[in-house]
Amino acid sequence: MKRKLTLKSIAKELGVSISTVSKALRDSPEISEETREKIKAYAKLYNYKPNNIALSLKNRKTNTIGVIIPQIVHHFFTTVIQGIEHEAREKNYNVIICLSNNDFDKEVLNMELLANGSTDGFILSVSKETMLKEDYHHLNEVIEQGMPVVMFDRVVDGIQCDRVLIDDKEGAKKGVTHMIRSGCRKIGIITSEDYVSVGRLRTEGYLDALDDFGIEPDDKRILKLDNIDDLNDKSKKRIEEFITKNDLDGVFTVNELFAVHASRVISGLGKKIPDDISLVCFTDGQLSEHAVPSLTAVSQHGEEMGRKAAAMLIDKLERPEDEEEEYSTAYIDTSLVERESTKEVIKR
Amino acid sequence: MKRKLTLKSIAKELGVSISTVSKALRDSPEISEETREKIKAYAKLYNYKPNNIALSLKNRKTNTIGVIIPQIVHHFFTTVIQGIEHEAREKNYNVIICLSNNDFDKEVLNMELLANGSTDGFILSVSKETMLKEDYHHLNEVIEQGMPVVMFDRVVDGIQCDRVLIDDKEGAKKGVTHMIRSGCRKIGIITSEDYVSVGRLRTEGYLDALDDFGIEPDDKRILKLDNIDDLNDKSKKRIEEFITKNDLDGVFTVNELFAVHASRVISGLGKKIPDDISLVCFTDGQLSEHAVPSLTAVSQHGEEMGRKAAAMLIDKLERPEDEEEEYSTAYIDTSLVERESTKEVIKR
DNA sequence: TAACTGAACTTAATCGATTTAGTCGTGTAA
DNA sequence: TTACACGACTAAATCGATTAAGTTCAGTTA
């Protein structure tokens, strides 16, 4: 087993002091040309790389971003991470990803862990449990210690940090408006309970779209499920009931899973998509693209969101200390990806 | 901004030496009961947490596992990560995830980066480019430095490390055998070129199953695409051609995407799944579960794979230095998840 | 020739923790 | 009274790097 080179071992080998080696490698003019060349040649030959841990300790800077997300088995988060990765890599930062599994305690634990020297700042999407508990002491703590935080997607108010949000309301409005323009009038929505911010906002967008066209909203056409992240049996049942008992010509859902199940139920009733019922969902992922029929979807541009979040964090990290703190919220635009589950817009 | 507590600041505040504080917090009998209590109370009150970076430097141990994967936007890798995370968390290790994006240079860069003190060992699935290049110097280098490596899923030979593999051959055989038992005789396979090990092995399993039942293999019924990770237009075309021009009563694919597209093509030809053509794919993910018809799939148990990989790595990390090095390969069993795309097995 | 300059190094402090090797005063035994 | 043991600490080395503050010696200048 070959032991890693250190400044010390190089110094010993070449008969100079540690600081001479350090300075030579950093091209200090204090060191003579001759010595510098000799040391650099040796370092190169044996592939010397400084120890990151020692550098972090010395510089009190890790050049690492901590990302905390509720779950990774979720296409949207995955694309966000990809965006964070790309931006970070370009700006010479590393990324550490931790999963909270939608568990409050784990979120706190992960943050504490990473906050003890492992990262310079955080990008996070709070877990469902945290939103329910409304306990944000862990966020406030790291912020007080001077670590900047950027929240994305699932954000909460009253925290001193930057935010990156999907324009959920506008996105939902786009999707529903498209259905209305293509002739739908009796549109239902499958959404989540209001405490999940994205669910609430998308519901608002839905209502906005109806309002724009003078369509009266109807509570019976709004289904609020309590789990937005997966599709359990209870949710399946409620979707079946919702679609079977309502007289609808369009359904908007806040995620792909709800849409895929709705699609199945609709087909099972012998109805045609989009001729009898149109279907639009939020989140453009694998399922929307490959389902049969493929689903018209509101694309969230997760990658862009990740890039933006990382850019905002790095910006804060590299801002001179004396500069005034200012927090902003960035919105990432959505776009509608038209596929087989909706009809053409009626032109006048 | 509240500055983080350090041993030094506590020592100063309480008028004792740094080492007294350290010892008191670690319950050393060298320190009097009285002093110990006082220090611990203070530390607790102000929520002292030791700095991980300093600990890592001192202990030459980071308690962190580096995970390098080709891409994260892939359900299988995602489940593996989840498994790694769970196992690591239980054994008090952290996980750093880096993406290689199937790019050789990035894989090398990431490894070098993490190897410089950030992690104690690696879990990785090599990128496609690395397999093509057959250049494994970066792996050998970290191994020589004494960092254990565990490879999973996409492994290469001739490296001193543990491996965790899906039993790809057996899995494919299971899937194809199921089709044969349900009455199929003219079974095609959509797979990858042989340099991707998983593609090659799954093709072997397919051939094995045919052989078991005395069915003559036919090269025309084997389609080898060059990209196994996504479904591009060229692949789509070739799948369409393959299914249209062949007379098949069953199709086995090495991933979900190929299957979903095959399903679409089959339906487009007016044929019924599974009555006219059965469909089975490798990898049990979101698409198999939610497609219409839902797909019978060979489940890879990614989470279990991740757990096993992490367990093997941690085992190596915690093994006493003098113990002899031994490398082993673990196989994770697959299981067949029967859904709507296959017929019942014919009982005799 | 004494004082000064500057090139080329080395020493030592520092980051935050752990740990081995002292130190110091008190109490006990010879 | 002296030596020794022991309890309760402190000092200092260490991990691997950086860097401000010396040091050393040859060469220049008044």
CB A129 within 8 A of CB A73: no
**Peptide linkage before B148 cis (omega within 30 of 0):** no
Q: Which amino acid is at B45?
A: L
Search chain A and give the residue with CA nearest B144.
Answer: A1
DSSP B153: S
Neighbour count for residue B333 (Cβ, 10 Å): 13
pLDDT tens track, chain A, 348 positions: 677 899 999 999 999 999 999 999 999 999 999 999 999 999 999 999 999 999 999 999 999 999 999 888 788 898 999 999 999 999 999 888 888 888 898 889 889 888 999 999 999 999 888 988 999 999 999 999 999 999 999 888 899 999 999 999 999 999 999 999 999 999 999 999 998 888 999 999 999 999 999 999 999 999 999 888 888 999 999 999 999 999 999 999 999 999 999 999 999 999 999 999 999 999 999 899 999 899 999 999 999 999 999 999 999 999 877 677 899 999 999 999 999 999 999 886
Phi, psi of B300 (to 5 degrees): -95, -10
- The kind and range of the H/E element at A250 are strand A250-253
Name the residues in A2-21 having a C-beta closer than 7 Å to nucleic acid strand D. Answer: 4-8, 18-19
Q: Judge whether B293 is closer than 8 Å to chain A, CB to CB.
A: no
Search chain B and give the residue with CA nearest A73.
Answer: B78
CB B33 within 8 A of CB B39: no
DSSP B1: -
Facing residue for A72 by CB, picked from B2, B82, B145 = B82
CB pair distance less than 8 Å for B52 and A94: no
CB B17 within 8 A of CB B36: no
Instruction: Give the number of C-alpha atoms closer than 13 A to the C-alpha of residue B293, restricted to the C-beta side.
Output: 24
Integer-rounded Cα Rg, in Å, for chain A is 26
In 3D space, the residue among B279, B277, B300, B305 whose CA is nearest the CA of residue B291 turns out to be B279
| Rounded CA–C1' distance between A58 and C19, in angstroms | 21
**If chain B, 348 residues long, is cut into consecutive pieces of 10 residues, what is the mean pLDDT of each piece?**
89 96 96 96 96 96 93 86 94 88 87 91 92 92 93 92 96 98 97 90 97 97 90 94 96 96 95 97 93 95 97 93 85 97 89
Helices within chain A (DSSP H only): 7-14, 18-25, 33-45, 52-59, 75-90, 104-115, 128-133, 137-144, 168-181, 197-212, 233-245, 256-268, 286-290, 302-318
| Rounded CA–C1' distance between B48 and C23, in angstroms | 29
CB pair distance less than 8 Å for B291 and A286: no
Measured CA to CA, the distance from residue A109 to residue B108 in angstroms comes to 31
pLDDT, tens digit, 9 for 90 and up, residues B250-279: 999 999 999 999 999 999 999 999 999 999
Measured CA to CA, the distance from residue B115 to residue A287 in angstroms comes to 37
Neighbour count for residue A193 (Cβ, 10 Å): 14
Sorted by where each starts, the structural domains of chain B and their CATH numbers stand as 7-50 (no CATH), 63-166+302-333 (3.40.50.2300), 168-299 (3.40.50.2300)
Facing residue for A53 by CB, picked from B118, B144, B292 = B118
| Rounded CA–C1' distance between A32 and C7, in angstroms | 8
Facing residue for A116 by CB, picked from B2, B52, B263 = B52
Q: Judge whether B272 is closer than 8 Å to chain A, CB to CB.
A: no
CB pair distance less than 8 Å for A263 and B292: yes
How far is the alpha carbon of A213 from chain B, nearest alpha carbon, in Å?
Answer: 34
Facing residue for A52 by CB, picked from B50, B94, B117 = B117
Is the CB of residue A58 inside 7 Å of nucleic acid strand D? yes
Q: What is residue A74's predicted lDDT score, i.e. its pLDDT?
A: 82
Instruction: Give the number of C-alpha atoms closer than 13 A to the C-alpha of residue B288, restricted to the C-beta side.
Output: 28
CB pair distance less than 8 Å for A97 and B99: no
Q: 3-state DSSP call for residue A330?
A: strand
Q: Judge whether A286 is closer than 8 Å to chain B, CB to CB.
A: yes
Q: What's this model's pTM, rounded to 2 decimal places?
A: 0.88
What is the greatest pairwise CA distance in chain B? 87
Q: 3-state DSSP call for residue B144?
A: helix
Enumerate the residues of chain A whose CB falls inside 8 A of the CB of residue B72.
72, 78, 81-82
CB pair distance less than 8 Å for A117 and B51: yes
Q: Judge whether B85 is closer than 8 Å to chain A, CB to CB.
A: yes
